[in-house]
Amino acid sequence: MVRLNDKVAIITGAASGMGKATAIVFAREGAKVVATDVETNGLHEVAESIRKDGFEVLELKLDVADEANWNEVVDKTLKTYGRIDILINNAGICGKDCGLKIDEMTTDVWNKYLAVNATGNFLGLKAVVPTMKQQKYGAIVNVSSINGMFGGNGVNYCSSKGANRMLARSAAIELAEFNIRVNSVHPGYIQTGMTKEIDDDPEYLNYFINKIPIKRPGKPEEIANLLLFLASDESSYIIGSEIVIDGGWTATI
């Protein structure tokens, strides 16, 4: 069964990690993938890999914090495919300044996280919703974090992911009457390029592994498979849900 046959799916942050895995899985499941990222070299590699496997992909540069850039992506998608069925708001940031203390954090650092992790998601919804309303169909998933539900170190990261979560929940109520489903996904520790600093430090890695009942990090493909379900018509009655995928971590809280 091809679960996304001929559905048009915009995926942000598709150059690496969970976004890359999602683009590949969606393409294999029949979607016309619009893979976007601000990092064009990695994005092109992902797109070429999808094409070599015989699947369709449109690669577009996108800074999710730039509203004009969002409008360009939507325009090009509509000119190419004529519709937009799915939006996966996956792009996000978490660097060394993610865990700064409040009195060490500049306003610029705070705003940077909100711009990408929260405003970027809002701009994505704003860009695609008019088309989805006309179609009377759409599936939108925001990729948040367990830190958007339960907090943790780094007020900038946690606040931005919490805003991401509540955006999805509120939008789900507003858009349900148009047959547009909005949900959020909350990964725990997923091994990607963003976690390299942890992965390269055995002591630091062990600290996190000991918090996870299954005793291992998650894989990007495991997130992609959940996103596939939420993007497909199999989840047609799931609206405004917040789905944790963390190996049992938050069950211990």
Low-confidence ranges of the chain (pLDDT < 70): 1
Query: How many Å apart are CA 231 and CA 251, to the nearest integer?
Result: 25
Q: Is 157 a catalytic residue?
A: yes
Residue 144, C-beta contacts closer than 8 angstroms, at least 6 positions apart: 161, 162, 164, 165, 168, 184, 185, 186, 242
The residue from 81, 113, 137, 157 that is catalytic is 157
Residue 244: name the closest of 168, 160, 144, 153 by CA: 144
Q: Is the pTM of this model over 0.75?
A: yes
Residue 194: C-alpha distances to residues 16, 191, 200, 225, 233 (Å): 9, 8, 12, 20, 31
Dump pLDDT digits (tens) for 119-151.
999 999 999 999 999 999 999 999 999 999 998
Dump pLDDT digits (tens) for 102-123.
999 999 999 999 999 999 999 9
Dump pLDDT digits (tens) for 223-245.
999 999 999 999 999 999 999 99
Query: How many Å apart are CA 63 and CA 123, to the nearest integer?
Result: 11
pLDDT of residue 205: 84
pLDDT of residue 1: 66
Q: Which two tokens stand for residue 128?
A: 């695609």
pLDDT of residue 212: 95
Q: Residue 60: what are its φ and ψ, rounded to 5°?
A: -140, 135
Query: How many Å apart are CA 50 and CA 222, to the nearest integer?
Result: 19
CATH of 8-189+219-252, one of 3.20.20.70, 3.30.70.270, 3.40.50.10490, 3.40.50.720: 3.40.50.720
pLDDT of residue 12: 99
The structural domains of the chain, with segments of one domain joined by +, span 8-189+219-252
